[in-house]
Amino acid sequence: MVGTAKAKDYTWRYVVYSYLAFGLLLFVFGAIATILLHGTPVVMKWLIVVTAWTPTYVFLLMFKWLCPGRTIKDFYKEAFAARLDIGLLVSTTAIQLFIYLACVYIVSLQNSVRFPDLLNLSFATLPSTLFFIFIQGPAGEETGWRAYLQRAVEKRVGVVKGSLIVSLIWAFWHAPIWFIGTGYSGMELVRYIVFFSISITSVGFVIGIAYYHCKNLFVPVWIHFMLNLPGESFRGSRADLMPWYAAFYFMMALGFLLWHKVKSGRLVREAAYERT
């Protein structure tokens, strides 16, 4: 019991330290980037990269307490050991692309703008865009949030509650960015925060369910990548896009909850049949 209590204590310490470290890094490196390096687009991109890795920095610094008796090499080897479910990856990719295109189309109708005018599909900048998207949130956050925290929490409360809890933690970890990185204020900011939180929590829930059924860290990384990728090609206001993202991703989360219950029920029946 003592060992379990200590492990639980370190789990929540990890969350608190990740929040504090993210705020500190944003403040320190943000000041350096804007005051000393003049806040150029390239500098700000690297600022996002450096701070996005905060959950991984904290995880590695706390590794011997969070994963006693294990090595970092073994941890990552296990994280990518499971066989990839290609069908799952294809399905999530198709759904996420559909959500993005549907949302952009709706925004184009709302604002009386041609659909293609809201898309930035420049092949000249595509390689650098893909590189920066990957090394930001997808590669930087998922070690801590999913490979460690998701699995630690779901062991205690189950995958559904665990996915919801971690998703909320992940969503509100972005809070500093709402105030210093969006450029919104007043009711526009409030509206953005509400819909951002719904969409990110929904995506996080999908990631948690998908990761439960395919324990390969590439799955969370890929879904996170596909979430961020379309947003970088959108030329309009994200405040217009976010309400529709929230609606569609909430429906996707409900769909994955239903899929999980059906799939889990089938697996239970198969296991019971094999025992007879």
pLDDT for residue 1: 43
Q: Which residues of 80-113 are buried (b: 16+ CB within 10 A; e: fewer)?
A: eeeeebeebbeebeebbeebbeebbebbbeeeee
Cβ atoms of 50 and 29 within 8 Å: the answer is yes
Question: In the chain, where are the structural domains located?
Answer: 81-274
Distance (Å, rounded) from C-alpha 241 to C-alpha 105?
10
Mean pLDDT computed over 63-79: 95
pLDDT for residue 268: 61
In residues, how long is the chain? 276
Distance (Å, rounded) from C-alpha 120 to C-alpha 102?
16
Confidence band for 270, pLDDT divided at 50, 70 and 90: low
Among 91-95, 126-130, 184-188, 270-274, name the most confident range: 91-95
H/E/C letters for each residue in 132-172? HHHHCHHHHHHHHHHHHHHHHHHHHHCHHHHHHHHHHHHHH
> Which tens digit of pLDDT belongs to each residue from 133-168?
888 889 999 999 999 999 999 999 999 999 999 999
φ/ψ (deg, to 5) at 50: -60, -45
Prediction pTM value: 0.91
Residues 6+ apart with CB under 8 A from 33: 39, 43, 44, 46, 47
Residue 88 belongs to what H/E stretch? helix 86-110
CA atoms within 13 A on the CB side of 152: 24
Using a 10 angstrom Cβ sphere, with 0-12 exposed, 13-18 middle and 19 or more buried, the burial of residue 165 is: buried
Distance (Å, rounded) from C-alpha 91 to C-alpha 89?
5
